[in-house]
Chains A and B, each alone.
Chain A
Amino acid sequence: MDKEKIDQIIDKHEGEASSLIQILLEIQSENHWLPGNALERVSEKLNVPLSRIKHIATFYKAFSLIPKGRNEIHICMGTACHVRGANRVLDTVQDITGIKPGETDLDLKFSLETVNCLGCCALGPVMEINGKTHGKMTPAETAGILKNYE
Chain B
Amino acid sequence: MSKINLQIDEKKVEADRGMTLLEAAKTAGIWIPTLCHYEKLEPYGACRICIVEIGSGSSTKLVVSCLYPVEENLTVRTKSEKIDRIRKMILELLLAHAPDSFELDELAKEYGADKNRFDKETSFCIHCGLCVRYCAEVKKAHAVGFVDRGAKREISFVPEIASKECWKCKECFPLCPTSALQAAYVLTEALTSAVPSFKGEPEDP
Q: Which of B132, B136, B149, B203 contacts A58 (CB 8 A)?
A: B149
Asked if B158 is at the interface (CB within 8 A of a chain A CB), the reply is yes
CB of A52 closer than 8 Å to a CB of B: yes
CB of A13 closer than 8 Å to a CB of B: no
Segment of B80-88, B96-104, B139-147, B168-176 engaged in the interface with chain A: B139-147
Contacts of B147 in A (CB 8 A): 54-55, 58-59
B161 at interface, CB cutoff 8 A: yes
Any A CB within 8 A of the CB of B10: no
| Interface residues in A, total, Cβ within 8 A | 9
Q: Which of A45-59 contact B (CB under 8 A)?
A: 49-52, 54-55, 58-59
Q: A22-60, CB under 8 A of B: which get 1 and which 0? A: 000000000000000000100000000111101100110
The CA-CA distance from A49 to B147 in the complex, in Å, is: 13
Give the docked Cα–Cα distance between A54 and B145 (Å): 8
How long is the Cα–Cα vector from A50 to B161 in the complex, in angstroms? 9
Closest Cβ of chain B: how far from A103's Cβ, in Å?
A: 14
Bound: A59/B153 CA distance, A: 9
**Which B120-167 residues sit within 8 Å CB-CB of chain A?**
132, 136, 142-149, 156, 158, 160-161
A40 / chain B contacts, CB cutoff of 8 Å: 160, 203
Collect the chain A residues with CB atoms within 8 Å of residue B144's CB: 51
Task: Please report the C-alpha to C-alpha distance between residue A40 and residue B161 in the assembled complex, in whole angstroms.
Answer: 11
| Whole-angstrom distance between the Cβ of B65 and the nearest chain A Cβ | 27
- Interface 1/0s, chain B 12-45, versus A by CB < 8 A? 0000000000000000000000000000000000
How far is B132's CA from A40's CA once the two chains are assembled, in angstroms?
19
- Is there contact, CB below 8 Å, between B145 and A49? yes
By a CB distance below 8 angstroms, the chain B residues around A51 are 132, 136, 142-145, 156, 158, 161
> How distant is the Cα of A52 from the Cα of B149 in the complex, in angstroms?
13
**B2 → A minimal CB distance (Å):** 36
Listed in ascending order, the chain B residues whose CB lies under 8 Å from chain A are 132, 136, 142-149, 156, 158, 160-161, 203
| Interface contacts beyond A51-B132, A51-B144, A52-B145: sample of 20 additional A-B pairs, CB < 8 Å, sorted by A | A40-B160, A40-B203, A49-B142, A49-B145, A50-B142, A50-B161, A51-B136, A51-B143, A51-B145, A51-B158, A51-B161, A54-B145, A54-B147, A54-B156, A54-B158, A55-B147, A58-B147, A58-B148, A58-B149, A59-B149
Residues of A at under 8 Å CB distance from B?
40, 49-52, 54-55, 58-59
**8 A-B residue contacts at CB 8 Å?**
A49-B142, A50-B160, A51-B144, A51-B158, A54-B145, A55-B146, A58-B148, A59-B147
